[in-house]
Structure 1
Amino acid sequence: MPVTEWFIIKSLTIPSSWLAVLLAILITGIIVWRKFGKETEDWFSDAAILFLLVWKFSVVLTDFKLIIDSPLSILYFNGGRLGLFLGLSAALLKLLWRFRQKNWPVSELVALLFSIVMLQSVYQIIMVLVNEALLWQKIITVVLFVALVTLTWLKISISSTWQIQLTFLFLFTHIFVALIQPQGILQSPLFVTGIFVICGSLAYVLTNKQLEFTEEKL
């Protein structure tokens, strides 16, 4: 969904996408805490903070000359699309490393898959609510992502089959929604979903390999 609304906070002009990211992280963190407990919410918060820091300060890499000429501009800019993917990669790698240290527990896999579906879904819903778009585009986007979140909430803990099915349903839902939005499939949020699905699928494979290895030892 293209950004059509901007918010002015004192001397800062903030695009609606920034607001949507922050609200999505906050809302998802609260929901994860309520569903999985404080320990799970702690690793989600750590990853979210790492993502925000890398995204924000990656402007030093993407526009070094600007920072040298005007150091305070680091407060007003971020690393853009490259910074977004750098921050996302840093956060996901941190999570995968943490899960590896804990031998890929199934409970952590469930929480990870739930979190990535919730995070992107809440972001998409906020974006269509605060930005301009055709009414039918807004309705379809909200209905599909609310349905996806509801199904994920109900089914994610049932079995490994449901976990992988929901992961790819997440991808297909976002592809369909992107096709009806003005920017089409060449939009950053859809690429983010693709990275989420790759990360979730990798965690799924490694978790199940660890589970099979444990069962063989028994």
Structure 2
Amino acid sequence: MINTEWYSIRTLTLPATAVALLITFFIVWLILRLQFSKRLSELYSDAIFTFIIVWKLSLLVTDFRTVISNPITLLYFNGGTLGVYLGVIVASLQIWRKRQRLQLEEQEMLAGSWAIILTQSIYQMLAVLLNDNNTSSEVITLAVLSVVTLLILWKLIAVKQALLLYTLSYLIVAFLQPLGIWQTAVAVSLILLSLGLIIQHERINVGGKK
């Protein structure tokens, strides 16, 4: 979706996509905190914090001279698309590194895969609701992702298949959106799909050893 709206929080003005992302992070964290273990919600919040920090500091890579001459720009700007990619990759690697140290149980790994799907789904829905894009593409996005997410939450589909189904559904929906499949969210979805499949593979291995 194309960002068309901006929202002001005191002196800070944020694009609708950033607002959608922050709300999504809080909702998914709260679900993990209330429904699953504290350490799983902490792993999620740590990954989110890492993503935000890397995303903001990536401005050092994309516009080093401006940051050096005026460091306060780090508060108001970020590294853009490159920063998003770097943030997602670093946060995913952090989860990958911590997974064994925390010795997550099979149920926690399962919840981790659900969290990946929920993060993408809630964000996409909020991005649609907070922006003003082509009506038909918005309706299709909401309808398709809502149905797929409900099927997944009702556990009518196995986790591995759910990850693949959600990603495939989003790729199809993306074709009908203004930016097509070349939007940043598509690449991020593929990265998160890979992370989810890895977590799911380890969950099966953990379950098989019991």
In the alignment, the residues of structure 1 paired with residue 103 and residue 14 of structure 2 have an alpha-carbon distance, to the nearest angstrom, of 41
Does residue 169 of structure 1 match 2:203? no
Matches for 1:20-59 after TM superposition, within 5 Å: 20-59=20-59
In the alignment, the residues of structure 1 paired with residue 37 and residue 178 of structure 2 have an alpha-carbon distance, to the nearest angstrom, of 38
In the alignment, which residue of structure 2 is the partner of 1:17? 17
Using the TM superposition, give the Cα deviation of residue 11 of structure 1 relative to its aligned residue in structure 2, in angstroms: 3.9
Q: 1:202 is aligned with what amino acid?
A: I
In the alignment, which residue of structure 2 is the partner of 1:92? 92
Tell me the TM-score normalised to structure 1 length: 0.89
Deviates more, 1:105-114 or 1:2-11: 2-11
In the alignment, which residue of structure 1 is the partner of 2:150? 150
In the alignment, which residue of structure 2 is the partner of 1:195? 191
Tell me the SS of whatever aligns to 2:182: coil
Q: % of aligned pairs identical?
A: 31
In the alignment, which residue of structure 2 is the partner of 1:83? 83
Q: 2:167 is aligned with what amino acid?
A: L
Q: Deviations over 1:152-187 (max 9, x none)?
A: 22218xxxx701100101111110110110100001
Tell me the SS of whatever aligns to 1:204: helix
Does residue 206 of structure 1 match 2:206? no
In the alignment, which residue of structure 2 is the partner of 1:183? 179
Aligned length: 210
Using the TM superposition, give the Cα deviation of residue 203 of structure 1 relative to its aligned residue in structure 2, in angstroms: 1.9
Using the TM superposition, give the Cα deviation of residue 102 of structure 1 relative to its aligned residue in structure 2, in angstroms: 4.2
Deviates more, 1:34-43 or 1:89-98: 34-43
Equivalent residues of 1:54, 1:87 under 8 A apart: yes
In the alignment, the residues of structure 2 paired with residue 99 and residue 189 of structure 1 have an alpha-carbon distance, to the nearest angstrom, of 25
Deviates more, 1:179-188 or 1:58-67: 58-67
In the alignment, the residues of structure 2 paired with residue 31 and residue 192 of structure 1 have an alpha-carbon distance, to the nearest angstrom, of 22
Using the TM superposition, give the Cα deviation of residue 3 of structure 1 relative to its aligned residue in structure 2, in angstroms: 0.6
Matches for 1:60-75 after TM superposition, within 5 Å: 60-75=60-75
Using the TM superposition, give the Cα deviation of residue 129 of structure 1 relative to its aligned residue in structure 2, in angstroms: 0.7
Using the TM superposition, give the Cα deviation of residue 209 of structure 1 relative to its aligned residue in structure 2, in angstroms: 3.3
Using the TM superposition, give the Cα deviation of residue 10 of structure 1 relative to its aligned residue in structure 2, in angstroms: 4.1
Equivalent residues of 1:104, 1:210 under 8 A apart: no
Using the TM superposition, give the Cα deviation of residue 103 of structure 1 relative to its aligned residue in structure 2, in angstroms: 4.8
Q: 2:158 is aligned with what amino acid?
A: W
Using the TM superposition, give the Cα deviation of residue 210 of structure 1 relative to its aligned residue in structure 2, in angstroms: 4.1
Tell me the SS of whatever aligns to 1:21: helix
In the alignment, which residue of structure 1 is the partner of 2:118? 118
Equivalent residues of 2:110, 2:203 under 8 A apart: no
Q: Deviations over 1:71-92 (max 9, x none)?
A: 1111111111111111111211
How large is the Cα RMSD of the aligned pairs?
1.8
